[in-house]
């Protein structure tokens, strides 16, 4: 499966702890990556400065579904499901 044109869900929904050009501390979940263009495409896609966590994330039917709304919901759920548990 290839990325859906104009989606950008993975560049918004998930947190990235690795440095990104223009975002040296990474980015929190729900915040668009600074490298996300207005057309919802990554400006550093395929370039060596793209973080490994980004290039390692591959689109799949399970994650992306049939449309951008599904992808956003799926990735938001995944982000929340993988948060470390809070200790009291």
Q: Which residues contact 88 (CB under 8 A, 6 or more apart)?
A: none
User: Is residue 58, in this structure, part of any structural domain at all?
Assistant: yes
Question: What's the confidence (pLDDT) of residue 25?
Answer: 96
Low-confidence residues in the chain, pLDDT < 50: none
Is residue 88 situated within a structural domain?
no
What is the pTM for the complete model shown?
0.87
Report if residue 86 sits inside a domain: no
Domains held by the chain: number: 1
Please check whether residue 51 lies inside any domain of the structure: yes
- Domain assignment present for residue 87? The answer is no
Residue environment code for 54-82, b if the CB has 16+ CB neighbours within 10 A, otherwise e: beebeeeeebbbeebeebbebbbeeeeee
Range of the structural domain that residue 62 is part of: 1-81
Assess contact for 28 and 13: CB atoms under 8 A.
Answer: no
pLDDT of residue 85: 74
């Amino acid at each position: 499966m290839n990325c859906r044109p104009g989606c950008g869900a993975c560049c918004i929904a998930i947190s990235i702890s690795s440095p990104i050009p223009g975002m040296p501390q990474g980015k929190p979940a729900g915040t668009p990556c600074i490298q996300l263009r207005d057309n919802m495409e990554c400006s550093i896609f395929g370039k060596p400065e793209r973080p490994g966590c980004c290039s390692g994330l591959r689109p799949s039917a399970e994650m992306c579904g049939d449309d951008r709304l599904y992808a956003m919901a799926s990735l938001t759920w995944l982000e929340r499901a993988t948060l470390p548990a809070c200790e009291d």
